[in-house]
Amino acid sequence: MGAAREPHIPDGQPTGQSFGAAAATRSNQPDSSKVPFVNQTREAPAWKKSVINLDSGFKGLMLVAALVVLGIVGLIVAELMQGSALAWQKFGIHFFFGSEWDPVSGGFGALPFIYGTVVSSLVALFIAVPLAVAVAVFVTEMCPKPLRRPISYATELLAAIPSVIYGLWAIFILVPILRVHVEPWLMKYFSWTGLFTGPAYGIGMLAAGVVLAIMIVPIISSITREVLAVVPQPQREAALALGATRWEMIRMAVLRNARAGIMGAVILGLGRALGETMAVTMVIGNSPSIAKSLLAPGYTMASVIANEFNEATSDLHRSALIEIGLALFIVTIIVNILAGLMVWTVTRGTPARTNA
């Protein structure tokens, strides 16, 4: 290999542009005196040619892997559009505004599921956002150093627990607690809002919202932590130097700066909540109705797919479920892109893993 070596990067052309060029210029100088020598002894053009092939071959192989990612997303879109074509032809845009869901007579409207998804996710955000932001603020700004790792580790563990286990826990532990203790209390003091009326089943929108909240706390709080960590330290010191208490410093110098990023974290949490399937399916009650009360059972887009797809009786039924899947896909993508942009505006220019 050594005999046929070139003074600077061999095959500079097919390699990565940016640092390939940089490396070339840098390693050029010390070797430039030997250029004639090396050129004279270069006797194996065939070897060099094979290296070029290996190099571009390797790059091609990696390119294929990268293109597979593109291909998969393309296939997802194509598959969902093709699968939902039947329902789209039959109902058009009215599919999303109809509230009738009757597989027997063939009438399909997705409104109850959209309503259930939106409401359960909003309930989840309502509960999760204060918790998640509090954890993030506490861990980054307030808590004694030795507690920092255990608390962030605990929130990460919450993220590692599978959805189906949250569902199991919710059915047997959370729902009875809600039914016996929380819901009667809510009905007693908050029934005037109209949100907490009707019999306390335990299962229903509220139960789904609470489980979802526990599930999205980790994602919101870890992104928030990341965002808080990029607030410049001098900013904090300046606020403290001006005589602010710690909370005033956090409010004025940290939270205000991280606002957009925290919003992004919240929206990312929303994206998670919208597509969550198993835990919600297990506790929401699975009844395609639109009720104002949060104690009433509901249904979400993801859970209707989970429950009915295998038992779908007609092609139209299956197609309607796939159309719900397509809608879910589009909505979560928009939400995730939005969230990504908002986090990016805050953390750009800093290394991705500031507090790993």
Instruction: Please report, as residue ranges, which positions from 53 to 92 form the binding site for other proteins (by CB under 8 A).
Output: 54-55, 57-59, 61-70, 72-73, 75-76, 79-80, 82-83
Site for other proteins in 16-45 (CB under 8 A): 16-20, 22-24, 26-27
Task: Determine which residue in the list 118, 171, 229, 230 makes contact with other proteins, applying CB under 8 A.
Answer: 171
Q: Is 10 in the site for other proteins (CB under 8 A)?
A: yes
Site for other proteins in 101-130 (CB under 8 A): 130
Task: Determine which residue in the list 214, 253, 291, 342 makes contact with other proteins, applying CB under 8 A.
Answer: 214
The least distance separating other proteins from the CB of residue 189, rounded to whole angstroms, comes to: 21
- The one segment of 181-189, 199-207, 228-236, 336-344 that binds other proteins by CB under 8 A: 336-344
Q: Is 206 in the site for other proteins (CB under 8 A)?
A: no
Q: Which is nearer to other proteins, 23 or 290 (CB)?
A: 23
Report DSSP state, residue 314. Answer: S
Q: Which is nearer to other proteins, 102 or 248 (CB)?
A: 248
Q: Which is nearer to other proteins, 153 or 192 (CB)?
A: 153
Site for other proteins in 259-318 (CB under 8 A): 271, 274-278, 282, 302, 305-306, 309-310
The least distance separating other proteins from the CB of residue 207, rounded to whole angstroms, comes to: 14
Q: How far is the C-alpha of 7 from the C-alpha of 200, rounded, in Å?
A: 80
Asked if 331 and 267 touch (Cβ cutoff 8 Å), the reply is: no
Task: Determine which residue in the list 205, 228, 296, 328 makes contact with other proteins, applying CB under 8 A.
Answer: 328
| Alpha helices for the chain (secondary structure H) | 17-31, 35-41, 45-91, 111-137, 145-160, 163-169, 175-177, 183-190, 205-229, 233-241, 246-249, 256-275, 278-283, 301-308, 315-347
Q: What are the beta bridge partners of residue 102?
A: 107
Q: Which residue has the tokens 């800093």?
A: 350
Q: Which residues contact 115 (CB under 8 A, 6 or more apart)?
A: 290, 298
Q: Which residue has the tokens 């403290």?
A: 240
State the CB neighbour count (10 A cutoff) for residue 224: 30
- Cα Rg of the chain, angstroms: 28
Nearest CA to 273 out of 116, 80, 84 is that of: 116
Both tokens assigned to 66: 């990268």
Q: Which is nearer to other proteins, 82 or 193 (CB)?
A: 82
Task: Determine which residue in the list 44, 89, 126, 162 makes contact with other proteins, applying CB under 8 A.
Answer: 162
Q: Which is nearer to other proteins, 139 or 197 (CB)?
A: 139
Number of chain positions touching other proteins (CB under 8 A)? 107
Residue 214 one-letter amino acid? I
Asked if 80 and 329 touch (Cβ cutoff 8 Å), the reply is: yes
The least distance separating other proteins from the CB of residue 294, rounded to whole angstroms, comes to: 20
- The one segment of 95-103, 185-193, 226-234, 331-339 that binds other proteins by CB under 8 A: 331-339
Q: Which residues contact 42 (CB under 8 A, 6 or more apart)?
A: 4, 6, 48
Q: Is 341 in the site for other proteins (CB under 8 A)?
A: no
3-class SS of residue 297: coil
Task: Determine which residue in the list 248, 259, 314, 354 makes contact with other proteins, applying CB under 8 A.
Answer: 248
Q: Which is nearer to other proteins, 35 or 64 (CB)?
A: 64
Q: Is 202 in the site for other proteins (CB under 8 A)?
A: no
